[in-house]
């Protein structure tokens, strides 16, 4: 069976090379363009988009999410139960095998956890798993995961941890010849060019409708577009909103990224609350969303927390656009003509430079002078992370894959957070408290307080919740996911 | 001859040493790879561990000594981005770049020889004016622009060629044409002027007056005498393509060669890989130069090799 | 090493004391050269007065007027003759401002690299012996550096800016001047009159300024102009790769890079800056071509001969029996 499919796909490949214009006619084979090349196919090592896009189709996690973002059982039979504040118990689905023949069982889970948190392994994904102490086998299909402190978002974390086979994962070959439990397995990997996946015939779940998935690495977005228009590609990510009209098909979904400008409460230019308020009121977020992103972004609702995330404060309203009041506030605070330094970078996020410059324009209209510091990425990070000397205003796009407010809180809300610029003692106390609060309602309450406080004192200038826009070929049917995973098993091809 | 090659090799060694020094200073003194390579949320401990793992926390002098020692044994270190030996990455990409250069330069030569000769037959004539103008035009097109236009026309509008990537021979056409055009223009101009000069020589005029047929003059004398400057220029084109001019073409066409890899290494601030690429290319240039010198000697024994 | 750069006249050409009006008349006859000259003049004028005449501030954004097509298209308007870009900036204004960038970068690099190269060349050619050998080896070594890769490496580490780019391009482009100048100095010094000047004890400075520099003007001018086109293209390529001019400054290459993502909805974004680069480089090449021929006596002779031959051919064609195909 295997060799036959391989043979067929070889034949298909040969036909394609000979007749590139014919690709659109190939059934049940799709090509997905990703921006950067996979550096390894070890699913636990790196934290980069190229690797993730491919391994999301080869490997699976204990918990999964629906396309809309709701946590559901994955390799686990059900959502976990809490044994005590530090211990979570998972029941596993029976009779699942990795493609190398190893069984998926408690040993595999214990190994997966131990492997990824091993300091010697130095996984780049550790920032997702910092609270996990160990995993214990109870019986063949029952596992307990133990955390170092109370960790309410452990289920979300386990949705990020890919399960690897207990024995084979120690083999050096594992990095290039993966073996997972997922709907697809590796067929060929041509370095620098493409990775081809084929259907896993022994997949435990519903069989996917697409037989072969080809991932091509194309860095230039113009080149990706050209490939889509020419019918060589079926899915491209990060489609520029302007192209929605031009591509054969497109789809958008609320994404995990939110753009924000973090204001310093210490610096001369921005320590006056009236100035910070004015900088918020001066911006027409709706106009930015409509024109810059062609409507594929939503104005933030007075907070940085992602609307899909746990801890999102539904009571908060968006900061209104009120240029007159902004001007008046700037005047009142005596900040007219004063310089605000706005630090940012270009090229990392969709239209980042454009957004920074547009916001700066609004600020200048309100009466301050803006000193744009578009830095090279390394220097930008220096300034973003510099705890001693905060920039007046620094632009950043926060990404919340775990969909829990703790991410935004420890990044931009909590004093001495990764990139925060305030010294609010309440936030300093609340954020760590919420992190270990296992009572869901209490925890929600703390986040409501925190977002309200930051909102009222204008510590941040939350800008837009980004949508992820995808371009499809005419024949592809797919509902993109909130978590931005490119799951080929959910895709279909119409002929 | 042997002594000559030895001298050239020594000179090449100096080149490589100079390149190494510049690369080392540029990358270690200014950039901070730990920051760029790790995700935004990485902790200070993770950054420290990363620096320790790649030896970035040691004194500069110590790093440099190690670096030279490793180079001597052809150990270029591990690519931080790909997490495998940088040399393995290069070994996979260099052939693709060489193939692209070969296709592009081959095309340029095939275009340049007949067009240049055609233009030279009647300087100032119609064919000459057209080819010279086309040549100057070819020199004037920025390659990144030309590449985009070619993709637009042949891949997107007419769908006769693939837009990008590496594959069968059809994948070669657009990148090769893009790479070839300026080189073809320069080579064509050179052929033209050499042939014109040669046709104006007294002995050629005499030969023609005595009734030697034109093709014999052209192929027997004019083109043969244009060979040395032609090879010099073709070699120069090869070197400048290798030295980085494929970067633009490979970027536009997503061609998995050394140039694209260099851009990715820059993006991921992958110092070891970048060093290894620059180092490899430097060695390549030295070798090509030596080969060129030997070719001259074979063509024209009168050339003194110093 | 035997690598030489193409199409550079190294022959010591005696400068002709042709009067200005005679030159102008000659240029008038060479239509291609004239076209090139006109474009160059336009470019220089634009670069100087661009800030005064651009219809808009080239960096001025208007989110309401994004991606407007040029005036002759269905949705175009007279407000933006060449349309607007993805930020609502006026393309015409940006193209004009880009001329300034290209000129500044091109001229600065040619002057910097040129003066350094000329100095090295003069020194090496004049001192001769060991100094010459060492300097020329240095030149050889740097010529063999992987040029563009080194530039990319250095710029990506230091951080891109216009100044960085000018310095880096100058550092990687001075060698050719040194070679050309040295070659000319060596050959000029062998001419009897310079030998004589040296024998009677002329100071080196006097020899350089009186005898050698005049011989350098014409080839250096041509070389500088041709190098200028290379720099314009290099600047564009670097800006295209994101390692050159940084916003809010403008450059043609940068605009093509910005526009390339919009190639399918707004062709004018890459077309006008791209055309500007092409036309500029083409114009300079045409002019340089004319200049080379005009300032080189050998070439002039050839051109004259060719013109005569063409005349004869034309005359022959009207004759009843054509001479040889």
CB-based contacts of B191, cutoff 8 Å, min separation 6: B112, B113, B115, B116, B117, B120, B223, B226, B230
Q: Closest by alpha carbon to C264, among B149, B145, A472?
A: B149
The verdict on C278 touching B (C-beta cutoff 8 Å) is yes
Contact check, Cβ <8 Å, B251/C264: no
Contact check, Cβ <8 Å, B142/C4: no
Q: Is residue C158 part of a domain?
A: yes
CB contacts of B160 in chain A (<8 Å) are 21
Contact check, Cβ <8 Å, C302/B262: no
Q: Give me the pLDDT at residue B35, please.
A: 63
- CA–CA dist A302, A258 (Å, integer): 12
Cα dist. C211→C176, C224, C301 in Å?
A: 22, 21, 24
Min Cα separation A292/chain C (Å): 7
> What does the buried/exposed string (b/e) look like for C221-248 if buried means 16 or more CB atoms within 10 Å of the residue's CB?
ebbbbbbbbbbbbbbbbbbbbbbbbbbe
User: What residue in A sits closest to B152 (Cα-Cα)?
Assistant: A226
The verdict on A401 touching B (C-beta cutoff 8 Å) is no
Q: Is the peptide bond preceding residue C248 cis, with omega within 30 degrees of 0?
A: yes
Contact check, Cβ <8 Å, B83/A46: yes
Q: Give me the pLDDT at residue C109, please.
A: 94
Q: Give me the pLDDT at residue A49, please.
A: 76
Q: Give me the pLDDT at residue B34, please.
A: 65
Tell me the pLDDT tens digit for each residue of B115-128: 988 888 877 788 88
Any chains having at least 3 CB pairs less than 8 A from chain C are A, B
CB contacts of C150 in chain B (<8 Å) are 19, 22-23, 244, 278
- CA–CA dist C3, B304 (Å, integer): 15
Q: Which of A240, A291, A376 sits opposite C66 (nearest CB)?
A: A291
Q: Give me the pLDDT at residue A289, please.
A: 92
User: What residue in C sits closest to B306 (Cα-Cα)?
Assistant: C1
User: What residue in C sits closest to B261 (Cα-Cα)?
Assistant: C149
Interface test with B, best of C11, C143, C147, C157 (most B CBs within 10 A): C157
Ranges of each domain in chain B: 2-72, 94-256
Cα dist. C301→B164, C29, C31, C295 in Å?
A: 49, 16, 19, 11
Element housing A195 (H / E) = strand A194-199
* Of the options 3.40.190.10, 3.30.420.10, 3.40.640.10, 3.30.70.20, the CATH number for the domain spanning A2-42+182-248+473-493: 3.40.190.10
Interface test with B, best of A18, A191, A404 (most B CBs within 10 A): A191
Provide block-wise average pLDDT over 10 residues at a time, chain C (325 residues): 39 48 77 86 85 78 75 78 81 87 91 93 84 84 77 74 87 88 83 79 76 79 86 87 79 84 80 89 86 71 69 59 36
The verdict on C64 touching A (C-beta cutoff 8 Å) is yes
Secondary structure class of A336 (helix, strand, coil): coil
Contact check, Cβ <8 Å, C3/B242: no
Cα dist. A337→A268, A322, A340, A371, C122 in Å?
A: 13, 19, 9, 11, 54
Q: Give me the pLDDT at residue C241, please.
A: 84
Min Cα separation B255/chain A (Å): 8
User: Residue C251 belongs to what domain range?
Assistant: 29-303
Burial of A77 (0-12, 13-18, 19+ CB in 10 A): middle
Q: Which of C63, C156, C261 sits opposite A292 (nearest CB)?
A: C63
Q: Does domain A255-467 have CATH number 3.10.105.10?
A: yes
Min Cα separation B123/chain C (Å): 7
Measured in whole angstroms, the distance separating CA C28 from the mean position of its chain's CA atoms is 22
Protein fold of A59-170: Dipeptide-binding Protein; domain 1 (3.90.76)
Q: Does domain B94-256 have CATH number 1.10.3720.10?
A: yes
Domain count, chain C: 1
A255-467 and A59-170 share a CATH fold = no
Min Cα separation A170/chain B (Å): 16
End-to-end alpha carbon distance in chain A = 25
Write out residues in chain A with pLDDT < 70, as ranges.
Answer: 1-27, 378
DSSP per-residue string spanning A84-111 = ETTEEEEEBPSSEE-TTSPEESHHHHHH
Q: Which of C64, C246, C265 sits opposite A243 (nearest CB)?
A: C265
Q: Which of B31, B81, B254 sits opposite A223 (nearest CB)?
A: B254
Min Cα separation B257/chain C (Å): 13
Q: Closest by alpha carbon to A303, among A417, A452, A407?
A: A452
- Sign of the torsion formed by the C-alpha atoms of B164, B170, B174 and B180: positive
Contact check, Cβ <8 Å, C141/B11: yes
Q: Give me the pLDDT at residue B38, please.
A: 63
Question: At C85, which CATH number?
Answer: 1.10.3720.10
Ranges of each domain in chain A: 2-42+182-248+473-493, 59-170, 255-467
Interface test with C, best of A221, A222, A248 (most C CBs within 10 A): A222
Contact check, Cβ <8 Å, B31/A37: no
Tokens of B191: 């052929």
CB B117 within 8 A of CB B219: no
Q: Closest by alpha carbon to B179, among B237, B133, B236?
A: B237
CB contacts of C227 in chain B (<8 Å) are none
End-to-end alpha carbon distance in chain C = 44
The verdict on C298 touching B (C-beta cutoff 8 Å) is no
The verdict on A301 touching B (C-beta cutoff 8 Å) is no
Min Cα separation B202/chain C (Å): 13
- CA–CA dist A132, A148 (Å, integer): 6
The verdict on A222 touching B (C-beta cutoff 8 Å) is yes
Q: State residue B161 phi and psi, 5-degree precision.
A: -135, 155
Q: Is residue C311 part of a domain?
A: no
CB C40 within 8 A of CB C284: yes
The verdict on A378 touching B (C-beta cutoff 8 Å) is yes
CB A52 within 8 A of CB A465: no
Residue whose structure tokens are 């193409």: C6
Q: Is residue C267 part of a domain?
A: yes
Secondary structure class of C234 (helix, strand, coil): helix
Q: Give me the pLDDT at residue C320, please.
A: 43
CB A238 within 8 A of CB A223: no
Write out residues in chain B with pLDDT < 70, as ranges.
Answer: 1, 27-43, 220-222, 300-306
CB contacts of C279 in chain B (<8 Å) are 140
CB contacts of A386 in chain B (<8 Å) are none
User: What residue in A sits closest to C155 (Cα-Cα)?
Assistant: A376
Interface test with B, best of C29, C138, C146 (most B CBs within 10 A): C146
Interface test with A, best of B32, B162, B172 (most A CBs within 10 A): B162
């Amino acid at each position: 069976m295997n060799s036959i499919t391989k043979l067929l796909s070889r034949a298909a490949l040969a036909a394609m090379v000979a007749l590139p214009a014919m690709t659109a006619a190939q059934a049940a084979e799709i090509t997905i363009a990703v921006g950067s090349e996979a550096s390894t196919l070890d699913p636990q090592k790196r934290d980069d988009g190229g690797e993730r896009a491919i391994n999301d189709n080869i490997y699976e996690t204990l918990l999964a999410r629906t396309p809309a973002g709701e946590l559901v059982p994955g390799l686990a039979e059900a959502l976990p139960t809490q044994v005590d504040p530090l211990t979570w118990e998972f029941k596993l689905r029976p009779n699942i095998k990795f493609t190398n023949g190893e069984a998926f069982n408690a040993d595999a889970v214990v190994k997966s956890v131990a492997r990824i948190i091993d300091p010697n392994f130095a996984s780049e994904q550790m920032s997702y798993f910092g609270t996990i102490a160990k995993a214990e086998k109870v019986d063949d299909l029952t596992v307990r995961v133990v955390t170092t402190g109370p960790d309410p978002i452990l289920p979300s974390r386990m949705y990020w941890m890919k399960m690897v086979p207990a024995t084979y994962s120690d083999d050096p070959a594992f990095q290039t010849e993966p073996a997972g439990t997922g709907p697809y397995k590796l067929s060929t990997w041509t370095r620098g060019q493409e990775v081809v996946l084929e259907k896993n015939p022994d997949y435990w779940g519903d069989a996917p409708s697409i037989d072969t998935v080809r991932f091509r690495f194309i860095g230039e977005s113009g080149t990706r577009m050209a490939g889509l228009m020419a019918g060589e590609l079926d899915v491209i990510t990060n489609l520029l909103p302007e192209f929605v009209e031009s591509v054969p098909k497109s789809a958008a979904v609320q994404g995990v990224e939110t753009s924000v400008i973090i204001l310093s409460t210490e610096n001369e230019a921005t320590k006056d609350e009236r100035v910070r308020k004015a900088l918020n009121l001066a911006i027409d977020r709706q106009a930015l969303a409509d024109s810059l992103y062609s409507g594929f972004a939503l104005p933030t609702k007075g907070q940085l927390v992602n609307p899909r995330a746990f801890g999102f404060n539904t009571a908060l309203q968006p900061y209104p656009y009120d240029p007159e009041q902004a001007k008046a506030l700037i005047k009142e605070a005596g900040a007219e003509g004063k310089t605000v330094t706005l630090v940012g970078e270009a090229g990392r996020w969709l239209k980042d430079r454009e957004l920074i410059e547009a916001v700066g324009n609004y600020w200048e209209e309100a009466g301050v002078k803006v000193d744009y510091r578009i830095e090279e990425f390394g220097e930008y990070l220096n300034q973003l992370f510099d705890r001693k000397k905060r920039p007046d205003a620094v632009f950043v796009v926060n990404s919340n894959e775990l969909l829990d407010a703790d991410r935004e809180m420890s990044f931009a809300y909590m004093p001495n957070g990764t990139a925060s610029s305030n010294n609010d003692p309440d936030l300093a106390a609340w954020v760590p408290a919420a992190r270990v609060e296992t009572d869901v309602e209490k925890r929600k309450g703390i986040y409501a307080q925190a977002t309200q406080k930051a909102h009222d004192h204008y510590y941040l200038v939350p800008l837009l919740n980004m949508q992820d826009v995808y371009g499809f070929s005419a024949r592809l049917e797919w509902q993109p996911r909130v978590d931005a995973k490119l799951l080929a098993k959910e895709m279909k091809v119409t002929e | 001859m042997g002594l000559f090659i030895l001298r050239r090799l020594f000179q090449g060694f100096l080149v490589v040493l100079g390149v190494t020094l510049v690369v080392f200073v540029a990358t270690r003194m200014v950039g901070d790879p730990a920051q760029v390579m790790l995700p935004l949320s990485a902790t200070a401990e993770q950054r420290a561990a990363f620096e320790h793992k790649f030896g970035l926390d040691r004194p500069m002098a110590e790093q440099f000594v190690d670096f030279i020692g490793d180079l001597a044994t052809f150990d270029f270190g591990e690519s931080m981005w790909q997490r495998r030996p940088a040399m393995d990455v290069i070994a996979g990409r260099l052939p693709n770049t060489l193939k692209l250069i070969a296709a592009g330069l081959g095309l340029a030569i095939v275009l340049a020889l007949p067009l240049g000769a055609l233009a030279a037959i009647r300087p100032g004539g119609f064919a000459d004016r057209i080819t010279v103008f086309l040549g100057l035009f070819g020199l004037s097109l920025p390659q990144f622009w030309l590449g985009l236009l070619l993709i637009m026309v042949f891949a997107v509008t007419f769908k006769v060629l693939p837009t990008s990537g590496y594959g069968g021979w059809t994948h070669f056409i657009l990148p090769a044409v893009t790479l070839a055009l300026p080189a073809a223009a320069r080579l064509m101009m050179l052929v033209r002027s050499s042939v014109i000069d040669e046709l104006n020589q007294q002995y050629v005029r005499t030969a023609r007056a005595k009734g030697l047929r034109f093709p014999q003059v052209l192929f027997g004398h004019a083109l043969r005498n244009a060979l040395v400057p032609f090879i010099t220029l073709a070699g120069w084109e090869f070197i400048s393509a290798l030295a980085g001019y494929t970067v633009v073409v490979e970027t536009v066409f997503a061609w998995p060669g050394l140039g694209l890899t260099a851009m990715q290494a820059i993006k991921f601030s992958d110092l070891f890989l970048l060093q290894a690429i620059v180092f490899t290319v430097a060695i390549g240039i030295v070798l090509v130069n030596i080969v060129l010198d030997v070719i001259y000697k074979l063509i024209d024994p009168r050339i003194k090799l110093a | 090493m035997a690598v030489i750069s193409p199409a550079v006249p190294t022959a010591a050409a005696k400068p002709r004391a042709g009067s200005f009006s005679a030159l102008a008349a000659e240029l008038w006859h060479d239509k291609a050269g004239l076209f090139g000259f006109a474009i160059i003049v336009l470019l220089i004028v634009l670069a100087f007065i661009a800030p005064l005449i651009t219809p808009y501030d080239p960096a001025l954004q208007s989110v309401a007027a994004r991606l407007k097509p040029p005036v002759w298209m269905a949705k175009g308007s007279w407000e933006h003759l060449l349309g607007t870009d993805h930020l609502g900036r006026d393309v015409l204004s940006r193209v004009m401002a880009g001329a300034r960038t290209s000129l500044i970068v091109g001229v600065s690099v040619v002057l910097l690299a040129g003066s350094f190269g000329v100095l090295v060349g003069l020194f090496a050619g004049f001192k001769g012996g060991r100094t010459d050998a060492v300097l020329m080896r240095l030149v050889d070594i740097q010529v063999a550096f992987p040029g563009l890769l080194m530039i990319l490496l250095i710029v990506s580490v230091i951080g891109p800016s216009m100044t960085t780019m000018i310095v880096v391009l100058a550092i990687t482009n001075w060698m050719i001047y040194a070679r050309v100048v040295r070659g000319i100095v060596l050959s000029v010094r062998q001419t009897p009159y310079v030998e004589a000047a040296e024998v009677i004890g002329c100071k080196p400075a006097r020899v350089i300024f009186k005898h050698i520099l005049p011989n350098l003007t014409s080839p250096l001018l041509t070389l500088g102009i041709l190098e200028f086109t290379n720099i314009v293209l290099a600047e564009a390529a670097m800006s295209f790769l994101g390692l050159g001019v940084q916003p809010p400054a403008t450059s043609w290459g940068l605009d093509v890079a910005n526009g390339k993502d919009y190639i399918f909805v707004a062709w004018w974004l890459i077309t006008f800056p791209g055309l500007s680069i092409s036309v500029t480089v083409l114009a300079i090449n045409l002019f340089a071509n004319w200049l080379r021929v005009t300032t080189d006596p050998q070439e002039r002779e050839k051109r004259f001969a060719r013109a005569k031959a063409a005349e004869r051919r034309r005359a022959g064609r009207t004759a009843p029996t054509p001479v040889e195909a």
